[in-house]
Structure 1
């Protein structure tokens, strides 16, 4: 953390390495399902086409996760910066960059299964949707917007903080800097 006016939250290398290792395990399982699927009488896993598809999707998804994690592991920038101008989000593969306090209407919590996310509700979501050129990233943030009401979500999963502390800090700084 740099100063009173700027707080930097670095990436947690430990969390990221664990994510990378878990992803590699799922890539290996996916490869196994594609190359030599297990024989089964199970109604779902007994169908070779389904097993092949699950394996392929697993390899593609977790391969993408590996790419994102490796990029973040070698990135020297902090995962999140909070300062007088706003929040600089670099925490994920679909990071929003600078989100000025003036754009932020609210901070909400969303949950998918046991995973909590901080949703940054902005007054101009289209700006953040149009800012992204990569079609995969654009679809991901569009899905966020359609499902949760905002294209911007922040998770503490890759950061050196926990969810509750991050939520408290963002809420406190929004009240401080927005007024």
Structure 2
């Protein structure tokens, strides 16, 4: 077993998400340009679409240019760099459970931590807001969209299981 199991993001999916983000930014601009009788709600929707999908677009362009691993399974824990609100390193001793979760027809690798506020407390600014919103959608603290990962569920769970077991054994030796 090597020290790191590296999972890259699916390049084709990243390109598709970049294009979708750009389309929604364009729709937000169109909404702002169309005259409405009651302009308040369309203006808010247009601005939110531009801001949210603009951030998504920038994130995906940067991710495509940098081409870094989306997820790394190491002897220290799981490093999540799969999205804008990435959790970073979640240490094995912070993890209570790991499971696949379904939400809105999408499968996520859900990481449950002992501290339900762990990821929120580590983040700041807009990432903190997004992590708080994310917490309201799924019960796990870290949610990695599995469709974006370029590996099978079996490979991923085997890598997690091997390294988690090793970390638990090393921890019990220290005690």
- TM-score normalised according to structure 1 size: 0.78
The separation in 1 between residues aligned to 2:69 and 2:39, in whole angstroms, is 44
Name 1:15's counterpart in structure 2.
13
Greater Cα shift, 88-97 or 139-148: 139-148
Residues 79 and 89 in structure 2, CA contact (< 8 A), matched pair in contact too = yes
Alignment partner, residue 51 of structure 1: 42
Quickly say closer, same or farther: Cα 1:166–1:125, change in 2 above 3 A: farther
User: Which position in structure 2 is the counterpart of 1:176?
Assistant: 165
Q: Give the one of 146, 151, 160 matched to 1:156.
A: 146
For residue 42 of structure 1, what is the aligned residue in structure 2? none
CA RMSD across the alignment: 2.6
* Structure 1: stretches of 5+ with no match in the other structure: 40-45
Q: Contact 2:77 / 2:164 at 8 angstroms: preserved in 1?
A: no
Q: Which residue of structure 1 aligns with residue 91 of structure 2?
A: 100
Supply the distance in 2 between the matched residues of 1:165 and 1:68 (Cα, whole angstroms).
28
Contact kept? 1:118, 1:167, Cα under 8 Å: no
**How many correspondences in the alignment?**
168
* Shift in Å, 1:77: 2.7
Q: What whole-Å deviation, never above 9, does each CA across 1:61-102 have from its counterpart, x for those lacking one?
A: 111111111221222431111122211111111111111111
Query: Could you tell me which of 120, 123, 139 is aligned with 2:129?
Result: 139
